[in-house]
């Protein structure tokens, strides 16, 4: 399975992957919980699923997705999310991805996700440095 197929599978199962993400993330990074005070985690789960869709390597979507991820970074900076919390976010996400795919998960897919997520976070951090206005 490659990254594209992985994202297709995730999107085809609505929010099954992301529903289990936030409780895990708060367990791993307890200080992240305070940032989500008053935020509906079910809505958040839908948003995260859409963001994973944006990470998908789709040539026609690449320009638009890069802009989206920069805007997303600027929004995270605005609501005061420190960069230090991203490592725990990514570790939790990779753990959820591995469980979601079960027997289809392998080293190659893990590497593809790690690299795609690293690129995505780099774009988000660009949005921290240079507030993005569309």
Residues of this chain that interact with ligand HEM (CB under 6 A) are 32, 35-36, 39, 47-48, 51, 72, 75-76, 79, 81, 85-86, 89, 120-121
| Residue 37 or 103 having the CB closest to ligand HEM | 37
The nearer residue to ligand HEM, 1 or 121, going by C-beta atoms, is 121
Whether residue 81 contacts residue 37, with contact meaning beta carbons closer than 8 Å, is answered with no
Let me know if 59 is exposed, middle or buried by CB neighbors in 10 A (0-12, 13-18, 19+): exposed
Nearest to 27, CA basis, from 111, 89, 116: 89
The minimum distance between CB 31 and ligand HEM, in angstroms, equals 8
- Least distance (Å) between residue 126 CB and ligand HEM: 13
Instruction: Determine contact, residues 79/100, Cβ cutoff 8 Å.
Output: no
Q: Least distance from C-beta 44 to ligand HEM, angstroms?
A: 6
């Amino acid at each position: 399975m490659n990254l594209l197929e992985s994202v297709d599978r995730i999107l085809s199962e609505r929010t099954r992957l992301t529903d289990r993400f936030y409780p895990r993330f708060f367990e791993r990074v307890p200080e992240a919980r305070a940032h989500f005070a008053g935020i509906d985690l079910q809505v958040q789960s839908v948003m995260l699923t859409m963001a994973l869709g944006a990470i998908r390597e789709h040539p026609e979507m690449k320009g638009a997705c890069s802009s989206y991820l920069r805007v997303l970074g600027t929004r995270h900076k605005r609501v005061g999310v420190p960069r230090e919390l991203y490592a725990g976010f990514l570790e939790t996400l990779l753990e959820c991805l591995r469980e979601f795919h079960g027997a289809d998960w392998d080293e190659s897919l893990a590497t593809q996700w790690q690299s795609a997520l690293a690129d995505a976070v780099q774009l988000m951090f660009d949005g921290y440095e240079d507030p993005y206005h569309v």
